[in-house]
Amino acid sequence: MERVVDLDEAVLEVERRRGRWEDAGLTVEPVTWRDAAQEWPQQLELDRAAVVDADSFGVVLTGLGGELSVVLFRGGWADVDYFAGIDDSGTLPMTAIGSAAAFGDQLDSYVARVFGSLSGAAA
């Protein structure tokens, strides 16, 4: 898989937002990593140091009546699933991601889509 996005930099985009999300009442699960060097089926790892060849990471946010699950692949795409209510759930489209910063911007839009404005929380 081509390396389009630096996953370590993209995780920093998650970590930069973690405090704000938690202050707003969201639970941010630990980031999980998948190692392309492992044989199938690969186990998800919590410890980045245990991953030789990271090809993706995932994060799950819950709270305020919703859930957002995002898995970013180093090839520049992501799988985004959400639940925002009994009649509002599914998969959200994510455009091609060319950088960690672009991932952070899209992540912000999905958090707002699922959980509403978090403007009451400290930035």
Q: How confident is the model over 15-32, as pLDDT tens digits? A: 999 999 999 999 999 999
pLDDT band at residue 109 under the 50/70/90 scheme: very high
Q: How far apart are CA 69 and CA 83, in angstroms?
A: 9
Helix (H) or strand (E) holding 103: helix 100-115
Q: How far apart are CA 26 and CA 102, in angstroms?
A: 22
Q: How do residues 66-107 score in pLDDT, each as one tens digit?
A: 999 999 999 999 999 999 999 999 999 888 999 999 999 999
pLDDT the model gives residue 123: 43
Report yes or no: 81 and 91 within 8 Å, Cβ to Cβ: yes
Question: 1: helix, coil or strand?
Answer: coil
pLDDT the model gives residue 21: 97
Q: How far apart are CA 57 and CA 37, in angstroms?
A: 14
**Backbone dihedral angles phi then psi of residue 10, each to the nearest 5 degrees:** -65, -35
Q: How far apart are CA 28 and CA 18, in angstroms?
A: 7
DSSP assignment string, 18-55 = HHHHHHTT-EEPPPEEEETTSPSSPPPBS-GGG-SSEE
Say whether pLDDT at 121 is over 60: no
pLDDT the model gives residue 24: 95
pLDDT the model gives residue 122: 45
**Backbone dihedral angles phi then psi of residue 121, each to the nearest 5 degrees:** -85, 155
pLDDT the model gives residue 1: 64
Q: How do residues 37-75 score in pLDDT, each as one tens digit?
A: 999 999 999 999 999 999 999 999 999 999 999 999 999
